[in-house]
Structure 1
Amino acid sequence: MHEVSREIQPASSSATRPIKRGSASTQIHNALRDRIVALEFTPGEFLSRAEIAAYYGVSQTPVRDAMMRLEEEGLLIIYPQSKTLVSKIDVAHAQEAQFLRLSIELEVTRRLAQAKASDRITKAHTCLSLQRVSAAANDLDEFSRLDRAFHAALYDAVGVANLWNTVTARSGHIDRLRNLNLPDPGKSTSILSCHERILAAIDAGDTGTVEAVVREHLSGTLAQVDRIMERNPEYF
């Protein structure tokens, strides 16, 4: 397996990035997860516990705990007393996570459409407006962040915000696939179109349309998986 060892450096000139008050393990887990999902840490890459601890200004204990959580999520492979590697993208895991997310979001959006819950999707409309701006600026990082915020807002609108956290914890592999797919021509336009049509169907109380659009929206990346793998064989 290909290994890459590199110093954990921040984007700024600062040599370290001390964490804020609170759970060091949770903060490091979230930060490392974000960097893995964003493909800043690439599949097959070697991560040094000591370097990460030095970067965040903590002992190795919270780093170890964070890495163990990431291993449980399938994003790291830990070889005891040896090394820790970023996992390759597992398509079967991605498909399973997609099944879970689709099952939940079909019910989330159906309930919102049945209730014609325009008053509960204001935050999702705001996310969509900001997504249009980030798409126009070709800011894919911000576009991706707002994409997650859009879907989280729908879960929150029906009172199941914690289920979004459950889905997110299972979605590391499919999210990496999405980040490989996002730069493709027309992908961001397709996402915006689906988001617009989902909200319009909820406003109109059209459960049939909202189900069809959610299915279309959430199947897009997996429909392209063969092409994504062909372009990035080293990630799989």
Structure 2
Amino acid sequence: MAVESFNTPSVTDLVPRQSSRRSHLLFVALQKEIVLGVLPPDQALTELDLAQRFRCSQGTVREALMQLNEEGLVIRLPNRGTHVAPCHADDARALLSVRRGVECDHLDRVVARADDRLRVALRDLLNAMRNAARDGDEYLLSVHDRAFHARLFDAAELPLVAPILTRCLIHNHRFKILNSRPNRALEETAERHVPILAALDSRDVVRLRSVLAHHIATIVDFGPDLTGGPAS
């Protein structure tokens, strides 16, 4: 499998690019396999094996693995190699708690800055989620879902905080996918964003905070609230 053919452009173009085209393609391909569990937690990864598999240089692999390490999806340790990061419930609870604080504590800023351009962008992302769900593409649905929440938070204009949310989102989705098998409720996942849009349209900060907190807390059906706090 050549490096240019890892993923369709519709996916690779959606994931923010921070490196050369070749390493970005590999980064997206490996991110997808880790999020979907094709590469399971704790699996060892070697630059040579990946370079042979994807028919690219070890330098390209190294750059992609460095990006995955920054996302926390792999762990690279001197003299111990690279392994896919674990995916434990305790980490998931902590990240969900952080995410809820980031997204819900600044909604007054979001509502104050919300305009038609934001609403159109969010509706476009919702429709993209619906299309991915109907196609049965769980990873593409995840990409659009994460973009929806990141775009909503962008309105708060807190750029130093945004990378924290980005990291929480990727790990939240990975945990959900790996622990919701068999996961066939893809269309339901997309429709869960409708109440968020409705609350934003009403410019009701209290309602939006309640709806969004419930949305985050119930991302995985392990009970009413994985974070231990009020779900609604």
If the length of structure 1 is used for normalisation, what is the TM-score? 0.71
2:207 corresponds to which residue? 209
Please list, as runs of the form range in 1=range in 2, the aligned pairs for 1:45-84 lying within 5 A after superposition: 45-71=43-69, 73-78=71-76, 80-81=78-79, 83-84=81-82
| CA distance in structure 1 between the aligned counterparts of 2:171 and 2:113, rounded to whole angstroms | 33
Are 2:136 and 1:150 equivalent residues in the alignment? no
Deviations 1:121-160 (A, max 9, x none): 2100111123223333433233222212211221233434
SS of match in other structure, 1:36: helix
Question: Could you tell me which of 172, 191, 194 is aligned with 2:192?
Answer: 194
The 2-side partners of 1:114 and 1:211 are apart by 14
Larger Rg: 1
**2:34 touches 2:73 (CA, 8 Å); kept in 1?**
yes
Letter in 2 for 1:151: H
SS of the equivalent of 1:213 reads helix
Q: Partner residue of 1:16?
A: 2
The Cα of 1:115 is off from its aligned counterpart by 5.1
Contact kept in structure 2, 1:114 and 1:207, CA below 8 Å: no
Q: After TM superposition, list the pairs within 5 Å mapping 1:68-107 onto structure 2.
A: 68-71=66-69, 73-78=71-76, 80-81=78-79, 83-107=81-105
| Equivalent in 23, 38, 61 of residue 40 of structure 1 | 38
Distance (whole Å) between structure 1 residues aligned to residue 48 and residue 42 of structure 2: 18
Does structure 1 conserve the Cα–Cα contact (< 8 Å) formed by 2:133 and 2:187?
yes
* Range 212-221 or range 124-133, more displaced: 124-133
Alignment CA distance shift 1:92-1:79 (3 Å): same
Residue 130 of structure 1 aligns with which residue? 128
**1: CA distance, partners of 2:170 / 2:151:** 20
**Residues in 1 aligned to 2:77 and 2:90: alpha-carbon distance in whole angstroms:** 22
3-state SS of paired residue (2:96): helix
State the partner residue of 2:11.
none
CA distance in 1, matches of 2:29, 2:185: 29
Q: Give structure 2 stretches of 5+ with no counterpart.
A: 6-16, 224-232
1:120 aligns to what? 118
C-alpha displacement at 1:58, in angstroms? 4.3
Q: 1:223 & 1:63 partners in 2: Cα distance?
A: 36
- Whether the 8 Å contact between 2:41 and 2:85 is mirrored in structure 1 is yes
Judged with a 3 Å threshold, the aligned counterparts in structure 2 of structure 1 residues 184 and 33 are, in CA distance, closer, same or farther, namely closer
Percent identical among aligned pairs is 26
User: What SS does the aligned partner of 2:82 have?
Assistant: strand
Structure 1, 54-63 or 35-44: larger mean CA deviation: 54-63
Q: Secondary structure at the match of 1:84?
A: strand
Distance 1:24 1:132 in 2: 30
Partner of 1:232: none
SS at match of 1:40: coil
In structure 1, runs of 5+ residues without a counterpart are 1-14, 226-236
Answer whether contact 1:111 1:158 (CA < 8 A) is retained.
Answer: yes
Structure 1 residues 150 and 61, CA gap change in structure 2 (3 angstroms): same
Structure 1 CA distance for aligned equivalents of residues 100 and 219 of structure 2: 13
Instruction: Give the match's secondary structure for 1:85.
Output: strand
1:25 deviates by: 5.2
Instruction: Name the residue aligned to 2:226.
Output: none
Q: Secondary structure at the match of 1:121?
A: helix
The Cα of 1:197 is off from its aligned counterpart by 1.0
Distance 1:71 1:95, change over 3 A: same
